[in-house]
Chain A
Amino acid sequence: MNYSDTSIAATTPFLSLENVRKTYPGVVALDGFSMEVRPGEVIGLVGENGAGKSTLMKILGGVTTPDTGTITVDGTAHNSLSVEGSLGSGIAFVHQELNLFENLDVAANIFFGREPLRAGPLRLVDRAKLRDMVAPLLKRVGANFSADTQVADLSLAQQQMVEIAKALSIKARLVILDEPTSSLPLAETDKLLDVIKALKADGISVIFISHRLHEIERVADRVVVLRDGMLAGTLGKRDINHDQMVKLMIGRMLKEREKASEAARAPGAVALSAKAIRTPTYPGRPVDLDVRRGEILGLAGLVGSGRTELARVFFGIDASLGGALELNGRPLTLGSAADAVAQGIFLVPEDRKLTGILLDLSIAQNISLPNLPAHARRSLVSASAETATAEKQKKDLGIKAPSVQTRTGTLSGGNQQKVVLGKWLAMNPKVMILDEPTRGIDIGAKAEIYGLMRALADAGVAVLMISSDMEEVIGVSDRIAVMHEGQISGILDKDQFSQENVLLLAVGKQPK
């Protein structure tokens, strides 16, 4: 490791991890990972989705216990941290999802549960004292709002300042920012980076996790890169640049691209076409995208890049703020998911348990739900028709369950996902959108789902697959569209496929 800032290098680390290992059934999440954080140092932590960042955060927050390894905080060695221990030794988190009470004011949020009280049996909050305590904290984070503002009236960046002020109020010595900028507009991001610099000036350490590499370039003293649960490398201040980070994130051993299964397919006609579609999340970023019949179009990008939002528009859940959709060359207006289903546009959503299936209904009832009138005579549901459809899907997809009357809530993740697929395959898909179709699913079921997608494409269906799994995107897709901050940053054809190209586009750079 080379430090450009010798004064930092000289001090003893506030936090150091040595040889930390954490496994989950079937997965090594962290493997022999070591790192140090010195007082007043800003560490940029980068890595692809699934590289082990969240596990690391959970260990530092005391939520999970590592299998082996040592965590030394402020000179004291531990095998693991507890939540109280982590907090007590001055480690504070600012999560991507903020934990603020929107209906309370800033001061109440910062000292929630620790309010100064007035003397007397009524335990009234001492408002004047509270204000006095909050004022210097807000000044330190450079807040331009007062302590009695309602949190609901603040912008996202301002809310993050409140979170950071809260961290300062517990005398935090290390503040961990987990993707704080992923939902911030650019102007607000600058403010947040200024706050990080102010923390550093006060001698507080910061771990800054971000997918936006240019932000890391601007504030980090050192960059730690995680890959597949291992330390892929550390970059000193002088070596921090975009290409270095990307190289470490992917690794030198670029995996051989999986061979194109068959001869190059002739591209079919455009099935679903988006022209200048604008999602509610990124209203200023029009998206153009064509999905062709008979292809699997992979939609890659980092978490929060606007892929799911786009899928919601294609499925009629959200209305586009502009632009137009076309299906097989004809204009398409979607007022609801029901309209999309009627046109043969189906979605396997990201959140299986909340939106994919009804856990309390049986397999048969879930599969027939979108097409119930076809399983009914004179508006009365025919149990035998329903069972017949479900039995066919159960057999075709290999759904493992005692019977089609089994509650879907009792099935494994992979089998639940097959039920979601089954309800659409029982109809006649023209466009099939799959959002993270293999997340949380075991390897065997994954392969089956890939096979199904390919079979659909071969049958002339336009398949759009959203995935954060790089190998999956490259291995399964015929073309890959990559999103970056709400826009399509590029489309790769099969001969341009590489992890590096996808990642470059995902962070908004040009592919090689």
Chain B
Amino acid sequence: MTKKDLGLLILILVVGAIVAIINPRFLLPINLANTSNLIGLFGILSIGQAFVIITGGIELSVGSVVALLGTLFIDFIAVRGMGWPVAFVLILVLGAIIGLAHGWLITRLKLQPFVVTLCGLLIYRGVARFYTADGTAGFAFGQNFPDLEFLTAGRSWGVPNSFFALIVISIVMWVVLHRSVFGRYLYAIGKNEEAAKYSGIRTGRVVMAAYVICGVLTALSAIYFAMYTRSISPASHGQFYELYAIAAAVLGGFSLRGGEGSLIGVLLGTVLLQELQNLVNLLGIPSSLNFAVMGGVILIGVLVDQQWGVFRARRRMVDAARKGAVGAAAE
């Protein structure tokens, strides 16, 4: 755990303590369970985003993908009568295909990630609305999928299973990002893509894989979101989720220029964001101020981090100058 992560964790605990003192309902099991469920859902989404951001890219279409794939999933199992495990795998494959398409456009046709995924944001939302004829996708009365519901929206020992899913995914992705050959390539490309290429890394393939990972994790979270809301109106479902994911990564210490950030960081970023949401509700702040609170906190967090960096760089310079002066005097 880096110093940055530790600072974030302390911030989370301090904010939690303050909220708990003002409104003790914060610590009620039902509130904690609800919040951890949301952390699970948004965490899976944010980890996907983090893999793209580490390469210096960005994925703006994830909110629309959550809407489109969620709609399709419910349609597959509720209307078309597909077995849920089949539909589950199919949705993940569709997520992978979307990621592959984005990665291909970005690495082979050299389009900018922002542009490609912005178009994706518009296209997938449009397709989702067309698919349901601007209606709502949902389950018929009495339609039940006990196993699926247990895995996605159920609880074990009072803890939401979505939270367990996030923990499992986090462990796997931590190993991939911080211990695997692929993870090292991701960091190298994010730091300096040219130098990585000159070291014989097939940078195009690696970047494409990052978008595929993002697509698959987004698809998985789309299923979780769908089973959580149980009914989807594609015009609004998942709106702004890409911004939640990007915000979590940025709060967690990721640089949008690439090459910087840790898995623990993005997790803590997600936790802090959901804690803030919860704080708005519990402290009686008008929910219309929701976004303003989040934006404000992120801005302050990034500012403090950046100023801290400037301060340390200056101190290092002063130290070096002092050492240099001493060295010169000794000669």
> How distant is the Cα of A381 from the Cα of B183 in the complex, in angstroms?
9
- Evaluate contact between B198 and A356: CB separation under 8 angstroms: yes
Which stretch from B130-138, B186-194, B263-271, B281-289 is at the chain A interface? B186-194
- Residue with the greatest number of chain A CB neighbours at <10 A, chosen from B180, B182, B194, B200: B200
Shortest Cβ gap from B38 to chain A (Å): 32
Is A369 touching B191 in the complex (CB atoms < 8 A)? Answer: no
Residues of A close to B322: CB separation below 8 A:
none
Residue of A nearest to B178 (CB): A381
A341 near B200 with CB under 8 A, answer yes
Q: Once the chains are docked, how many angstroms separate the CA of A349 from the CA of B191?
A: 18
Q: How far is the CB of A464 from chain B (nearest CB, A)?
A: 16
Tell me, rounded to whole Å, the shortest Cβ–Cβ distance linking B193 to chain A.
10
Checking B184, B197, B202 against A372 with a beta-carbon cut-off of 8 angstroms, the contacting residue is B184
Known contacts A381-B179, A381-B180, A337 near B200 by CB under 8 Å: yes
CB neighbours (8 Å) of B198 from chain A are: 315, 317, 337, 347, 349, 355-356
**Cβ-defined contact, B180 with A370, below 8 A:** no
Q: Which residues in B have their C-beta under 8 angstroms from that of A379? A: 180-182
- Segment of A2-10, A147-155, A357-365 engaged in the interface with chain B: A357-365
Q: List 28 A-B contacts (CB under 8 A).
A: A315-B198, A317-B197, A317-B198, A336-B197, A337-B198, A337-B199, A341-B199, A341-B200, A354-B192, A354-B194, A355-B198, A357-B195, A358-B196, A360-B191, A360-B192, A361-B191, A365-B184, A365-B188, A369-B188, A369-B196, A369-B199, A370-B200, A370-B201, A372-B181, A380-B175, A380-B179, A381-B180, A423-B199
A379 CA to B175 CA in the complex, in Å?
10
B202 / chain A contacts, CB cutoff of 8 Å: 336, 338
Give the contacting residue for A361; candidates B175, B183, B188, B197; CB below 8 A.
B188
Residue B185 interfacial (CB < 8 Å): yes
**Is B182's CB under 8 angstroms from A358's CB?**
no
Interface membership of A117, Cβ < 8 A: no
Q: Is A342 an interface residue (CB 8 A)?
A: yes
What B residues does A317 contact at CB under 8 A?
Answer: 197-198
Q: Is A43 engaged at the interface, CB distance under 8 Å to the other chain?
A: no
The answer to whether B259 has its CB under 8 Å from any CB of chain A is yes
Q: What's the Cα separation between A82 and B181 when bound, in Å?
A: 52
The number of chain A residues touching the other chain, given as a range, is: 20 to 34
A372:B185 contact, CB within 8 angstroms:
yes
Cα distance A341–B196 when bound, in Å? 12
Out of A340, A358, A365, which one reaches B192, CB within 8 Å? A358
CA of A437 to CA of B195, assembled, Å: 16
Cβ contact of B181, chosen from A337, A357, A381, cutoff 8 A: A381
Q: Which A residues, 323 to 382, have Cβ-Cβ distances below 8 Å to chain B?
A: 336-338, 340-342, 347, 349, 354-361, 365-366, 369-370, 372-373, 376, 379-381
Q: Say yes or no: A342 contacts B191, CB within 8 Å.
A: no
Determine whether the beta carbon of A381 is less than 8 Å from that of B199. no
User: Is there contact, CB below 8 Å, between B179 and A337?
Assistant: no
Query: Besides the contacts A369-B184, A423-B199, what 12 more A-B pairs have beta carbons closer than 8 Å?
Result: A337-B197, A337-B198, A342-B200, A354-B195, A355-B194, A355-B197, A359-B192, A361-B188, A372-B184, A379-B182, A381-B179, A381-B183
Closest to A380 in B: B179
Residues of A within 8 A of B200 (CB): 337-338, 340-342, 370
Name the distance in Å between B262's Cβ and chain A's nearest Cβ. 15
Cβ distance B176 to chain A, nearest Cβ, rounded Å = 9
Q: Shortest CB–CB separation between residue B56 and chain A, in angstroms? A: 13
Looking at B194, B195, B196, B259, the one whose CB has the most chain A CB atoms below 10 A away is: B195
Write out the residue numbers on chain A whose beta carbons fall within 8 Å of the beta carbon of B192. Answer: 354, 358-360
Q: Which 7 pairs show the lowest CB-CB distances between chains A and B?
A: A341-B200, A355-B198, A370-B200, A369-B199, A370-B199, A338-B200, A338-B202
Query: Closest CB of chain A to B187's CB: distance in Å?
Result: 8
Cβ of A356: which chain B residues have Cβ within 8 Å of it? 195, 198
Interfacial chain B residues near A349, Cβ < 8 Å: 198
A358 touches B184 (CB 8 A): no
Q: Report B192-242 residues with CB < 8 Å from chain A CB.
A: 192, 194-202
Q: B195 touching A358 by the CB < 8 A rule?
A: yes
Q: Which residue of B lies closest to A374 (CB)?
A: B181
The answer on a CB contact under 8 Å between A381 and B201 is no
Write out the residue numbers on chain A whose beta carbons fall within 8 Å of the beta carbon of B185.
372
* Neighbouring B residues of A365 by C-beta, 8 Å: 184, 188
**Do A360 and B175 touch across chains, with their CB atoms under 8 A apart?**
no
A381 contact set on B, CB distance < 8 A:
179-181, 183-184
Expressed in whole angstroms, the minimum distance between the Cβ of B236 and any Cβ of chain A is 39
Q: Which residues of A contact B197 (CB under 8 A)?
A: 317, 336-337, 355
User: Would B191 and A358 count as touching, CB distance under 8 A?
Assistant: yes
